[in-house]
Structure 1
Amino acid sequence: MRFKLVHAADLHLDSPLRGLERYAGAPAERIRNATRRAFDALIELCLEEEARVLLLAGDLFDGDWKDYSSGLYLVQKLTRLREAGVAVVWLRGNHDAESRIRKSLTLPAHVRELGVRKPESIVFEELGLVVHGQGYATADLREDLAARYPRAVDSAVNVGLLHTALSGRAGHEPYAPCRLETLVDRGYDYWALGHVHQREIVSIDPWVVFPGNLQGRHARETGPKGATVVTVDANRIADVEARALDVVRWEVLEVDATFARTLEDVLDGLRARLEAAVRAADGRLLAARLRVTGATDAHAALERKRDHFTAEARALALDVGGDDLWLEKIQVLTVPALDLAALRRRDDPVGQVAAALAALRTDREALEALAAELAELRAKLPSELLEGPDAIRLDAAAMPELLDDVERLLLSRLSLPSEEETE
């Protein structure tokens, strides 16, 4: 028998997306509505593909509902699937754990929730399909749920639904930790995972898939977002295909100004970069963070005329993309066009600091010690500085980027050449 499943996760419907008002010209309403519009696209995908089951691997919501409109919206959309004969199986993740959601509505009968007390299995006899899974009773779930999932049912296609970071993924709390070997040992054909917002195919035998979140919400959730269409044929997984469903595409666009000599040169490079990004967004609203980088002769002009360059860049974005292109932030990260090797040989304080930074990059023990010291500082910072797309990162993984920032700030403030160089 041949049929299709659609696997999605991390919808975060009605995610609050605070702070958009701070950005001049931000398309706030389009961005706030993006999670719902992406879910609309998910429903359309199920109908177009004539899917038999929609699998939702946690975090349908971002937290408790502000009011009942979120639940009513969900019921309305899921009812369309009932009319087309599409069943829905879902479970709770850390954001919509049982302990976090106080408001609720009765969902249509074709929507089945996997429980939070123990693993459950839902059998679709007409499809020869069994879906196994367990949701979150509380948000901070640190036990290995997968270890308690039942073994595969013989002569059926077995799917495991699980909200997890596996053995750990950067930027994600290690909820419901488990090893890949544990998943393989269950004997399932397909693991429909959630929690990690980047799409990832962890394994193909068996299939272990993170579809990524349905809609990017800020500049740390870049690139195409959407769901996965799974084709089952003759009791095996015949095809697994990613489908982009996002309506707002977030990107970080880097413009290398290394060979630019003037502001006009930088803007020419920016135009080409924006035009390519708009084409790639394929009609979506493109929300882009712009990073101008490189050791360049244009650095002094960029620093001196930063406000002018920022305004020119925004005007250029309007010219290229109109209402479908918004520059969320413009970061000028250039440095003067200098010989770094010569700079590090200079016998003055600037040269000594530059040499020390170069040495630090390759000193693993020193980097780990620095990260440990910064961890103490991080613990003292208010929580609002540690959350969101611009969160302060002081962990070991952030050290290379922090060193880049330090070196950039140093080079951009270099004093006159040393006395030996001026003789």
Structure 2
Amino acid sequence: MKNILKLGFTLAAYATVACVSLAFVYNVTAPAIERVKQEKAGAGMKIVFEQADSFVPVQNFERDSANPIAINALYTAEKGGKVLGAVVEAAGPTYDKATMLIGLDLNRTITGIQFLSLTDTPGFGQRANEPEFLNRFKNLNAEKTLEAGKDFDGLSGATITTKGVTNIVNYAVWVAGNYLAANHGGKAGSGAAPAAPKKAAAFDFESAFAELFPAKEGSSAPSYTEIPGMQAKTVHKIRIDNMWSVSSDGKTIGIMAAATGASYHGTASVLTAVDMERNIIGARITDLNDTPNIGQRALEEDFYNQFAGKSADANLLVKDGLDALSGATITSASIADIVKVSAVEAASQAAARGGKAAPAGSGEYALNGLQMEE
């Protein structure tokens, strides 16, 4: 008993010393870390607003409480004491997350953008930090909400990053523009705050069907019919829950397969559709309970839309070009495998109804599996 008490006191003493040491190290290093952050922000502000010679913090400015993007700081950009515009430090979700500086002049023209931090996928989203992309925002008029593909070119292969950066910029210039208009004679904008990024949610069956097979003018509304004998069929550990043939104007136009497979936490269910030429029309996630803000981002359209247009016979591998979610490789790989198996099975049913026949060897294909580190 004495030995146990002695051991307990010894461990408690070690723990106390460790905690005190950590607190001491933090107190010593925290000011230095903060100083480096401030120096980086100061240098960044000079980049995004080259004409200014000083940046003065603003304490009171309008925010949109419904927007998940955080405005960390707002500064007036000044030269010789005259306000030329503003610089905003804003943070929000991209493919992972980013903290940015955005400059705006009194005419609501963007003077520049810069990243203070960006944790997106190397080789994909990290390209947003290159001058070629950053300069696409420079001199853009921000009176109205900016759109990738319309007002500037997005990043090829990194649509989620592009959308996230655009959301941050739009909200930041709205905050800065309103402040400048109200306090320094800046140009008025459209008035309405940019729409807050919607929280992605799983589809119910009918809404998924409507997106995968939308009604077309001049044709009868698509309808679906359950295919007998397809319930609870297991292929490569993926359970095919059900399958339906889809018809319009009296002929089959595609096949849908509902399937469930293992994910990072529990299971994921996906509704996958193929056309009669063995092409994936699309995939919609109908159930997913994964890590919030990580694996759960698979519910966002920029992730699941990447399956559309691919052949049912093509590999859907994370290591071979599939744009996996940053920090959620297992979730990405799991859903890709569910889509792949579903597409092959659906294409087989399409072929049985007059669709394109399967190429030789199509029954043997590679899957990601779950042997990956998250």
TM-score relative to the length of structure 2: 0.25
Larger radius of gyration: 2
TM-score relative to the length of structure 1: 0.23
By relative contact order (CA 8 Å, sep 6+), the higher-ranking structure is: 1
